[in-house]
A and B are shown apart, each in its own frame.
Chain A
Amino acid sequence: MSRRREVMLWTAQRATAVVLAVCVVVHLVTIIYAVRGGLTAAEILARTRGSIAWGTFYSVFVIAAAVHGAIGLRTVAAEWLGIRGDVAEVGMSLAGLLLTIVGLRAVAAVVA
């Protein structure tokens, strides 16, 4: 992997970190608010069903988390497991893809 691409990955991780910082604060506040008095599917879905706002928010959240997490796992794999090179790059892409697919599926599940 070229140095430029490595810098690009690092930058992408910091950029998604900024996006996630906003998303996580919103998510934490939502969780703490929603969890009072127990959590039911009805409550969740009443908030998210048909909501373009929530749909957009969670989609952005999912994609940012997938990119951020995949790049992070790549670093941990390299430093703590010694996994580098093509195997690591493919692994990172697969992790990102998996998180994106399962995540967007979840968004569709609660918004559609």
Chain B
Amino acid sequence: MTTASEKPGPAPVPTLRVAVWRGGAEGGRYQAFDVPRLPSQTVLDVVTHIQRHLDPTLSYRFACRVGMCGSCAMMVNGAPRWTCRTHVDNVAADAALELAPLANLPVVKDLVADMGEFFEKWARAQGHFKGAATRAEPFAVVDPATAARREADAGIECIGCGVCYAACDIVAWNRDYLGPAALNRAWTLVNDVRDTAREERLEAVAGDAGCHSCHTLMSCTEHCPKKLSPTRAISGLKRATWSLAIAAVEEA
């Protein structure tokens, strides 16, 4: 029979050093927490542990926890990611994590960013469908195999999480730039044969605030958790707006 002093105890749980940005619109600083590191742990698990056991005043967003809603997007070690879909093992090589609110957006509090301008730009890019049919008419028949529909389908899975917006350098350098998500959405609608607002939409996405400011850095495409390619959509918009370019030359 072994005594208590001889019995081998459980192995000590390794710790993760987490620097979390705390503050608001006026500014803030990083605060350090030590979090137990567990197998198959996601960054969302880490943030939740901090808020539940270490500091209940920490503000952060999440909803579905399973990579469907995009609410949990934030900067993890400098890159915009979904925390629920980011395994700690993949990002914390030296047992350290740095968490900050999504870049290029105003901060509400701590890890919560204000998504207002993101959606406002979506509206400015005419990112909404405008149809002419009524309920009295039969269903529109759109062949999924057509080139236009395939282009649209390549981009419609966007859930507006803001990761691409946070990754884009042009958004950081040009406050008016509509951004990858808004332009991607506009492109899906430009390719929708049922839509009737093509001209207005092309006007809305052209110019220095629109597709013509994209320099194909492709940070959006690199980081999109749904593997979309806003760069591809924006290239399409550049081609689609040729008609505007020709009109401008004729006007000049």
Contact = CB atoms under 8 A, between A and B. Distances in A.
B203 A11 contact: no
Interface stretch (B20-28, B109-117, B239-247): B239-247
Interface residues of A, number: 12
Interface stretch (B56-64, B129-137, B206-214): B206-214
Contacts of A8: 245, 248-249, 252
B170 interface: yes
Nearest to B205: A3
B174 A10 contact: no
Interface in B180-226: 203, 206-210, 212
B251 A7 contact: no
A3 B210 CA distance: 9
**What is the predominant secondary structure among interface residues of chain A facing chain B?**
helix
B249 A79 contact: no
A7 B252 contact: no
A44 interface: no
A34 B101 CA distance: 57
B81 to A, nearest CB: 25
Contact of A11 (B170, B173, B248, B251): B248
A3 B173 contact: no
Interface of A: 1, 3-8, 10-11, 78-80
